[in-house]
């Protein structure tokens, strides 16, 4: 097949060439479907692993699990893959399965609107317009940098950047650096920059739970054994899956299960931070799992170094060459690094408009909604990966993505086999699903654990985590269920 480079109509348009987009493309081709394109705004594939290049960037899920089940990699150099290695892995999978030719790089989605009369999506991009029978969002939830609007931020005369847009040309050596935020990215890059900077001031809103990472280099003999005995890699994958799945005990089963996890984390804090005053600052005041727990063995030691100060008072104002904290102390800084996470939902949700003209973002802000995290009522012939209630706080994102990809491919196959031109999930089906997740979320650690996080909506509801076991989710998405949809045949 010739890639639809200049076609104005495509049967299937996929937005995003990251982990999900590549996985979907491979699965579509495996099902004998090759009349699709992948629209990618960047000039290369890889998604978050292409975009995030900050020092120390790595995965917080073991590599044997954070990889496609159909493409095991026995050659990971570490227990946890680094950004460069994960990106190389995604590229190798895309090349090996010949899906790069389906990708249109430098093509950003500007707007997509459903045309009910034609039963098509009308899509406007930075490289022109097209129509599509089926539209799929494979955009990750962490694709847009979030920078809070702090007073005076635009008056700062030094250098400032977000971790997602790391300025590699800027030399931090000997500088007075302020890091705002202590999320997963900051926990990774702080130990990397601490030895180079002159003074490091870390502004912490709330202390994260830190659990030992136990990362190490894999031995050549281990990699050789995994190459020769593939079953061993499957066993390791199963072992890691079971361990991570166990976090669901705290998240949505019963918060009393938190005590062993918290004890392990507190022991690490006690062992690595000897100063009682600093240890008090770094002790979380909420249930583990309320926010994302972070795996690191280097973060606490970096904060104990003499050139580091942890500030827990809020930021009152950013000035030309300093940051004023709420206690009246002025901290002189040369560079500000924002480690403040990502905007949820992603910006693409505001660009996709359904039958009533409203966008997915409009619906999300009203109430996070979907059916199985893969479809949305009022958005015919539209699918997504890691949509609301399609992400799990207790499992690898790739595991959930593969379940959704299986569902999407089966849906497209069913539509073609039955000559279906339009499907739209029934409102009552979606409502029943939302009522179910709402009820199961009522007493979760995410909502009642004593913190505020991106796991929650502004009014304290579940922002989109699936409050059940991932294997149960996989069972529910194992086949497309046309009976849950309003269907129109050609």
pLDDT digits (tens, 9 = 90+) for 457-486: 989 999 999 999 999 999 999 999 999 999
Q: Is the pLDDT of residue 140 over 90?
A: no
Percent of the chain with pLDDT over 70: 99
pLDDT digits (tens, 9 = 90+) for 297-319: 999 999 999 999 999 999 999 99
* Res. 67: pLDDT tops 50: yes
> Mean pLDDT across the chain, nearest whole number?
95
Helix-helix angle 83-96:19-30, to 10 degrees: 20
- Judge contact between 179 and 205, C-beta under 8 A: no
Q: With 90 as the cut, is the pLDDT of residue 345 above it?
A: no
Q: What is the phi-psi region of residue 32: left when phi exceeds 0, alpha when psi lies from -120 to 50, beta otherwise?
A: left
pLDDT in tens, 397-414: 999 999 999 999 999 999
- Please report which confidence band the pLDDT of residue 143 belongs to, taking 50, 70 and 90 as the band edges: confident
Beta pairing, strands 128-137 & 382-384 = parallel
Residue 315 in contact with residue 329, Cβ under 8 Å?
no
- Measured CA to CA, the distance from residue 272 to residue 213 in angstroms comes to 14
**pLDDT of 4 above 50:** no
Q: Please, how many CA atoms are within 13 Å of residue 434, restricted to the half-sphere of its CB?
A: 20
pTM value is 0.95
Q: Which residues, including other chains, have CB under 8 Å from residue 284's CB and lie 6 or more apart?
A: 206, 207, 208, 209
In terms of C-beta density within 10 A (0-12 exposed, 13-18 middle, 19 or more buried), how is residue 124 classed?
Answer: middle
Give me the architecture of the 9-144+343-489 domain, per CATH: 3-Layer(bba) Sandwich (3.50)
The yes-or-no verdict on residue 490 having pLDDT over 90 is no
For the chain, residues classed under CATH 3.50.50.60 are: 9-144+343-489, 153-215+228-338
DSSP 104-168: EET--EEEEEEETTTTEEEEEETTEEEEEEEEEE---TT-SB-----TTGGG--SEEEEGGG--T
Could you tell me the CATH superfamily of domain 153-215+228-338? FAD/NAD(P)-binding domain (3.50.50.60)
Stretch 428-432: mean pLDDT? 98
pLDDT band at 183; cut points 50, 70, 90? very high
pLDDT digits (tens, 9 = 90+) for 269-298: 999 999 999 999 999 999 999 998 999 999
Q: For the packed helices 220-228 and 230-245, what is the interaxial angle rounded to 10 degrees?
A: 110
Distance between CA 467 and CA 469 in Å, rounded? 7
Average pLDDT over residues 261-270: 97
pLDDT for the residue 350: 95
* Tokens representing residue 94 in the block: 């895309």
Predicted confidence band of residue 7 (pLDDT cuts 50, 70, 90): low
Distance between CA 86 and CA 186 in Å, rounded? 19
């Amino acid at each position: 097949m010739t890639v639809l480079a200049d076609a104005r109509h495509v049967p299937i348009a996929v937005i995003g060439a990251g982990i999900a987009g590549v996985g979907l493309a491979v699965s579509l081709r495996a099902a004998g479907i090759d009349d699709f394109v992948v629209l990618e705004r960047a000039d290369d594939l890889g998604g978050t692993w292409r975009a995030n290049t900050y020092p120390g960037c790595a995965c917080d899920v073991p590599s044997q699990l954070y990889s496609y089940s159909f493409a095991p990699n026995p050659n990971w150099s570490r227990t946890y893959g680094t950004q460069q290695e994960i990106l190389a892995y995604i590229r190798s999978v895309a090349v090996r399965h010949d899906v790069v030719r389906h990708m249109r790089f430098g093509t950003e989605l500007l707007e997509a609107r459903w045309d009910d009369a034609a039963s098509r999506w009308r899509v406007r991009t930075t490289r022109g317009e097209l129509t599509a029978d089926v539209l799929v969002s494979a955009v990750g939830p962490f694709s847009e940098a979030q920078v809070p609007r702090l007073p005076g931020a635009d008056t700062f005369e030094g250098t400032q950047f977000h971790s997602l847009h790391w300025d590699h040309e800027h030399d931090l050596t000997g500088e007075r650096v302020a890091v705002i935020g202590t999320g997963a990215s900051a926990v990774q890059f702080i130990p990397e920059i601490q030895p180079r900077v002159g003074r490091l001031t870390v502004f912490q809103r709330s202390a994260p739970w830190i659990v030992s990472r136990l990362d190490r280099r894999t031995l050549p003999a281990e990699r050789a054994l995994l190459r020769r005995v593939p079953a061993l890699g499957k066993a390791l994958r199963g072992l890691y899956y079971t361990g991570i799945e166990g976090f669901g005990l705290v998240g949505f089963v019963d918060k009393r299960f938190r005590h062993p996890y918290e004890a392990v984390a507190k022991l690490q804090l006690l062992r690595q931070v000897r100063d009682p005053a600093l240890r008090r600052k770094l002790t979380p005041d909420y249930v583990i799992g309320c926010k994302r727990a972070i795996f690191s063995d280097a973060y606490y030691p970096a904060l104990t170094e003499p050139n580091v100060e942890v500030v827990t008072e809020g930021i009152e104002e950013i000035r030309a060459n300093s940051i004023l904290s709420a206690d009246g102390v002025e901290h002189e800084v040369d560079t500000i690094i924002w480690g403040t996470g990502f905007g949820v939902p992603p910006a693409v949700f505001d660009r996709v408009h359904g039958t009533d003209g409203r966008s997915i973002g409009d619906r999300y802000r009203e109430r996070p909604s979907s059916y199985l995290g893969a479809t949305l009522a009022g958005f015919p012939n539209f699918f997504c990966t890691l949509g609301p209630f399609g992400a799990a706080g207790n499992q690898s994102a790739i595991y959930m993505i593969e379940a959704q990809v299986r569902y999407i491919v089966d849906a497209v196959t069913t539509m073609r086999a039955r000559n279906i031109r339009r499907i739209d999930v029934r409102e009552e089906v979606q409502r029943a699903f939302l009522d179910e997740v709402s009820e199961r979320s009522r007493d979760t650690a995410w909502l009642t654990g004593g913190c505020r996080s991106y796991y929650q909506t502004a009014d304290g509801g579940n922002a989109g985590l699936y409050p059940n076991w991932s294997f149960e989710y996989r069972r529910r998405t194992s086949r497309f269920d046309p009976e849950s949809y309003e269907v129109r045949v050609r």
